[in-house]
Structure formats: C-alpha cells, structure tokens
C-alpha cells in the first residue's frame, strides 16, 4: 500500500498526491488497525458478529416494517415499530394535560426557554445582561404558565405536564439552587466554625440520601412542618426538594473551584484591603466559577436526568406522560416505541450538553484563549 505520509519540509519529487480521498485513507487505516494480528482480527470479528446480531433486526423493526401513518391496527399488521403512535401522542408528551386551547402558553414558554438556554451557552453573552434577562424571563415564564393575571386563565399546576414540566423543574431548580450552592460552598470554606459545620452538614446530608427520599420528604413531610392552613402546591414542593439537591451537588463542584484557586489570589485580594464579600465577588468567584463550568455542566446533565424521578410522587414529567399515553385503549401495546422515543429525546439533550461541556473545557483551558 502506498504510504500517504511524507517527511515534513522535504519535497519528494516523482510521487503523486494520494489518489484516495482522505476519508478512504482513514477507512483503510481503520480497517488495517482492525485486522492487525490474529488477536485483533478475532476481536473485530466478534464485534462484527455482535453488530450483525443487533443492528439488522433493529433496523428491520424501526425502519423497514415501521408504520409512520395510520392507526393501531395498521401498526399491528405491519408488525414493526409504530411511529404513528408517537406522532399521535407527540404533543401530549410535550404539554401533558394542559388545556388544549391554552397550549400556546406552554409553547411560548418553551420557546422563551430554548432561546434563553441557547443564548446562555454563547460565551459572548456571558455577563450581567444575561443575569438580568434570566431574572426577567424566569418569573415571566411562570406567570405565563400559571395565569391568573393579565387576563390569562389560571391553570393549576396539576395540569402541567410533559416535556414542559421537565424543563420547568430542571431550569428553576438550577436557577434557585445555584445562588444557594455558591453560599453553601463559601460557607463550607468559611473561617467561622458554626457556619462551616452548618453548611457541611447540609451538603453531606443532602448528598448522602437518594433524591427519591428528598422528594418523599418534600411531598409527605414538608406539609407537616408548615403552619396549619398553609399549603404548598405539589410542584412547588418538588421544586423545594430539587433545588436543595441541585444546591448541594453544585456546591461541591464550586468548592472544588474555590480550592483550586492559588493562595496568591486570596492573599492579593486581602492585600488590597478588600472586604470578604468584595474579595469573593470580584476576585475569587469569577475565576472559581469559570474554571468549573465544564464540571457544572456535567453535574447538570446528571440533575437533568434525575428530573425523571418525580414520577414517584405523581408529577407527570416527559417520561411519565409518555408512559401514561401507553394506557390509551386505542393504542395498547406500544411500550417499546415510547421507551425508544423517550430515550432518544433524553439522549439528544444530554449528549448535546456533554459535547458542549467538552468544547467549553477545551476553550476555557488556560492558554487556549
């Protein structure tokens, strides 16, 4: 095989440019690495056998014999995946039981949410303006969903559902939990013994127990601790638990950033005579938060996946709504399709976030700027 590499800086006369396009060269290199030696060859064949066992049947089910239009009977006749079922239930999985004629409200809310999230991923928007925008958008979105003012019909939170509520829990949990996380992280590194103990206890207690138990606690135990006559909406209780959970996990990530700051940064700020809060706000936190952004995104991916746990106290998030759709007597027996679709949606969202975090990690590395 012709070698396509050449020594740098030396002209090799009489040799043609590689006739093969780059991807073919890569494919050849791939194939060569796959069959280099008997052991590697055997491993490759094993992998191919596994793929052969998994992929064609799946393809046959998901594409060849799939039904994209029609009803349940058409699906059962074709015998493959029933994507018509997903088409039928798609908007239900996004909006849940939200009143049909009011669906423009969660739709608008989701649009604002997507715009805000996309804007927040762009480094050139990072700054005070973005914080202000979130501070305006977050209550606005809640008002839009809940109604009761500005002539919007009130819609009870028990009717909220689907991907909308997954987004609400994840984003509001983060928005409320993040400031708390910063305080907890600072508190855990405080010189004041009592403050340090308190923050450590909160962080460790929350991280030491499963999220489910926090959700149970918020759903069952919290109402007992409120004054008589005061009730808290179920979604609000979920948010309390989820916010606490987010705060504890984010606090540990941020603490990592605080500990990674060289002592010189603290000492320099002290030498300038800055007060504790000014030192933190102007010198330490901006750096500590920035270097931990990739870990923050990774933690958030975990927290986002954990929104599915609200099923245990009967809140209809995206996955639970899809499972509820399985009970439709006209469409019985299409559980696999629902699971594959839900897995696909979660995968796309989480994979996008993790790719984003890896890109950030590269661009935030010192010297990469």
Partner 1 sequence: MSLSVLRGPARGYLIQAALLVALVATGMWLWSNAEANMAARGLRFGFGFLDRSAGIPIGESLIPYTPADTYRQALTVGLLNTLRVAIIGCILATVLGVVLGLARLSTNPMLRSLTGGYIEVIRNTPLVLQLVFWHAVMLQMPSVRQALNPLPGVFLSQRGLKIPALMADPALYAFLAALAAGAIGWWVLLRRERARQVETGERRPTILPGLAMLLGFPALSIAAGFVPRVEWPEMAGFNFEGGLALSPEFFALLVGLVVYTAAFVAEIVRSGIQSVHRGQWEAARALGLPGGRIMRLVILPQALRVIIPPMTSQYLNLTKNSSLAVVIGYPDLVSVANTSINQTGQAIEVITIFMTIYLAMSLVTSALMNWYNARVALMER
Read off the tokens for 259.
């500990």
Residue 30 in contact with partner 1, rule: CB under 8 A = yes
What's the alpha-carbon Rg for the chain, to the nearest Å? Answer: 27
CB–CB of 145/168 below 8 Å?
A: yes
Q: What's the 3-state SS for 232-257?
A: CCHHHHHHHHHHHHHHHHHHHHHHHH
Among 28, 74, 136, 220, binds partner 1 (CB under 8 A): 220
Nearest partner of 162 among 93, 106, 112, judged by Cα = 93
Scan residues 226-255 and list those touching partner 1 (CB under 8 A). Answer: 226-228
Read off the tokens for 227.
């004054």
**Site mask for partner 1 (CB under 8 A), range 324-363, x = bound:** -----------xx--x--xx--xx--xx--x---------
Find the DSSP H helices in the chain.
22-34, 38-59, 72-78, 83-95, 104-121, 128-146, 162-188, 193-208, 211-216, 222-225, 234-260, 263-271, 276-278, 285-291, 293-306, 318-325, 335-364
Among 24, 28, 50, 115, binds partner 1 (CB under 8 A): 50
Strand, helix or coil for residue 176: helix
Residue 323 in contact with partner 1, rule: CB under 8 A = yes
Scan residues 71-100 and list those touching partner 1 (CB under 8 A). Answer: none
Residue 311 in contact with partner 1, rule: CB under 8 A = yes
Residue 23 in contact with partner 1, rule: CB under 8 A = no
Instruction: Pick the stretch among 44-52, 75-83, 153-161, 235-243 that binds partner 1 (CB under 8 A).
Output: 44-52
Q: Which residues bind partner 1 (CB under 8 A)?
A: 30, 33-34, 36, 40, 43-44, 47-48, 50-51, 191-195, 198, 204-205, 207-213, 216-217, 220-221, 223-228, 301, 305-309, 311-312, 319, 323, 335-336, 339, 342-343, 346-347, 350-351, 354
């Amino acid at each position: 095989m012709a070698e396509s590499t050449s020594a740098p800086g030396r002209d090799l006369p009489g040799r043609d440019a590689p006739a093969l396009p780059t991807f073919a060269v890569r494919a050849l290199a791939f194939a060569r690495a796959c069959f280099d030696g008997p052991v590697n060859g055997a491993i490759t064949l094993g992998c191919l056998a596994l793929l052969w066992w998994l992929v064609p049947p799946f393809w046959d089910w998901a594409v060849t014999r799939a039904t994209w239009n029609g009803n349940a009977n058409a699906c059962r006749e074709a015998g493959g995946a029933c994507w018509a079922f997903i088409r039928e239930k798609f908007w239900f999985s996004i909006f849940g039981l939200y009143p049909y004629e009011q669906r423009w409200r969660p739709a608008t809310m989701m649009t604002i949410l997507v715009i805000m999230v996309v804007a927040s991923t762009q480094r050139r928007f990072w700054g005070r303006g973005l914080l202000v925008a979130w501070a305006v958008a977050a209550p606005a979105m809640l008002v839009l969903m809940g109604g009761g003012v500005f002539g919007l019909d009130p819609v009870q939170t028990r009717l909220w559902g689907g991907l909308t509520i997954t987004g609400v829990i994840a984003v509001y949990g983060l928005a409320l939990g993040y400031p708390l996380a910063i305080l907890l992280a600072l508190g855990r590194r405080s010189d004041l013994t009592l403050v340090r103990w308190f923050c450590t206890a909160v962080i460790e207690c929350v991280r030491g127990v499963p999220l489910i138990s926090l959700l149970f606690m918020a759903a069952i135990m919290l109402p007992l601790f409120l004054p008589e006559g005061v009730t808290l909406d179920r979604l609000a209780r979920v948010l309390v638990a989820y916010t606490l959970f987010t705060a504890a996990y984010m606090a540990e990530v941020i603490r990592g950033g605080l500990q990674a700051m060289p002592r010189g940064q603290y000492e320099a700020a002290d030498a300038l005579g800055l007060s504790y809060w000014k030192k933190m706000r102007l010198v330490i936190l901006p750096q500590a938060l920035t270097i931990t952004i990739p870990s923050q995104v990774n933690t958030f991916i975990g927290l986002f996946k954990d929104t599915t746990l609200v099923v245990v106290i009967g809140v209809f998030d995206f996955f639970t709504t899809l499972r509820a759709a399985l009970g439709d007597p006209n469409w019985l027996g299409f559980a696999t399709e629902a699971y594959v679709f839900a897995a696909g949606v979660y995968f796309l969202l989480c994979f996008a976030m993790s790719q984003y975090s890896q890109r950030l990690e590269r661009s935030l590395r010192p010297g990469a700027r």
